[in-house]
Amino acid sequence: MQTNLRGRDLICDLDFSKEEVETVLEVAFDLKRKQALREPHPYLRDKVLAMLFFFSSTRTRASFEAGIAQLGGHGAFIEAATTQIAHGDTPKEIGEILGRYFDGLAIRQCDWQVGNAYQNEVARYSRVPVLNMQCDLYHPFQCLADLMTIFEKKGTQLRHRKMVVSWAYAASYLKPISVPQSLILQMPRFGLDVTLAYPPEFALRGDIVEEAKAQARRYGTSFQISHDMAEAFNGAEIVYAKSWGPLMTTADKVEGKRIQDSYQDWITDAAKMSLAHPDAIFMHPLPADRNIEVTDEVIDGAQSVVYDEAENRLHAQKAVMALTMG
C-alpha cells in the first residue's frame, strides 16, 4: 500500500502510479464495505470540498456531494455560470483564493482545448488538491470506478483478457473524448488486452494513443486499433461502448454532427454482444442514448453492469478524497 497521496492532485489518470491506483481501490473497497454495514467513517470531518462545474452533471455531482458528506465533510456546489469567472476571475485567482477557502478543489471543465489546461493552471496556484471531475482529455474518476467494477466482476487476475473500448453512435451532441482516453491509458496497466474501435474520423489524440501503447509495452499487454465494430467485439470479455465526438477531425459542430450521423449502424445490440465472450459484461458511464448508442435489451440485460459501475463512482471518489484531503 502506498501512503504518499496526501495533498496530491488527480488530473491525468497517470498522475497516480499503478501501485497508487491499487491503494485507491483497496481503500474504495473498504469504504464500500463500511457503507454497506453502516459503519461511520468520518475521515474528513470538518473538511470542505469545492465542486466547480462548468458543465451540468448527474452522477458526478451526486456522488461527490454524497461522498464528502459520508466522510464527515461538506461539499460546496459552485456553478461556474453563477460566478465571476466569465467576468475576469482567472485560473490563478481561482487556485489562490479557493485553495485558501477549501480543503480540496474538484473541477469539471470539458471545453475542447481548454478544460485540462484550466485545471492544471488552477492546480499550479492551489495549496490544496485539485481533482478532475472530467476535462476535455481525461475522466480519471470514471475510469477508477470502471476498474473497480471490473475487479468485482472479473477478479484482479486480468492478464490477456480482452477489453473492447468502442465508439457508438449518439444523436444528442458531440461528446468529449475523455472517457476512452482514460480507459486506454489505465487498463493496460492492469493486464487487459485493449482493442480501441472507432470509425476513421473518430481517432483519439495521437500523443495519448502513443502513451497507451507505451503502457501496454511496459506491462506486457496488447493495445490494438480497429475500424470494424464487429471484429473488435469478437471474444471480448469486457465491452465498453460509448459515443465521442470527431474532435481530432473537426471542431465544427455542424460538420461533426454530419460525420457522426453517417455511422448510425455503430450501435451495441444483442447481435454484436453475441460476438463477445459468453460471459462478457457490458459497461457504459451513462447517460446513454438508448436504442441509438445501445439497445434497451443490452443495457437492461443480464450482461449489463452499468448501475454497479455508477455506484462505484461514489466509493472510488471517496477513497481519493480520503487519501488526498486527509
For the chain, which domains are there?
13-139+312-325 (3.40.50.1370), 141-309 (3.40.50.1370)
Task: Please tell me the pTM assigned to this model.
Answer: 0.96
* Residue 174 contacts residue 186 (beta carbons within 8 Å): no
Q: Please state, in angstroms and rounded to a whole number, the distance separating the CA atoms of residues 132 and 86.
A: 20
Cβ contacts of 204 within 8 Å, gap of 6 or more:
177, 180, 181, 184, 196, 198, 248
pLDDT, tens digit (0-9, with 9 covering 90-100), for 3-52: 999 999 999 999 999 999 999 999 999 999 999 999 999 999 999 999 99
Of the candidates 177, 185, 222, the residue with the CA atom closest to the CA atom of residue 201: 177
Tell me the pLDDT band of 128, cut-offs 50, 70 and 90: very high
* Residue 126 contacts residue 98 (beta carbons within 8 Å): yes
Between CA 154 and CA 163, with CA 157 as vertex, the angle to 5 degrees is 55
* Residue 85 contacts residue 94 (beta carbons within 8 Å): yes
> Which pLDDT score is estimated for 173?
83
Q: Please state, in angstroms and rounded to a whole number, the distance separating the CA atoms of residues 1 and 194.
A: 26
| Mean per-residue pLDDT of the chain | 97
pLDDT, tens digit (0-9, with 9 covering 90-100), for 242-252: 999 999 999 89
Residue 88: exposed, middle, or buried by beta-carbon count in 10 A (0-12, 13-18, 19+)?
A: exposed
CA atoms within 13 A on the CB side of 96: 5
Measure Cα distances from 308 to 148, 178, 286 in Å: 10, 21, 12
* Residue 95 contacts residue 71 (beta carbons within 8 Å): no
Residue 86 above 90 pLDDT? Answer: no
Tell me the pLDDT band of 233, cut-offs 50, 70 and 90: very high
Sheet strand arrangement including 193-197: 223-226, 193-197, 162-167, 238-242, 281-283
> Which pLDDT score is estimated for 167?
98
Cβ contacts of 230 within 8 Å, gap of 6 or more:
272, 275
The reply to whether omega before 42 is within 30° of 0 (cis) is no
Residue 227 above 90 pLDDT? Answer: yes
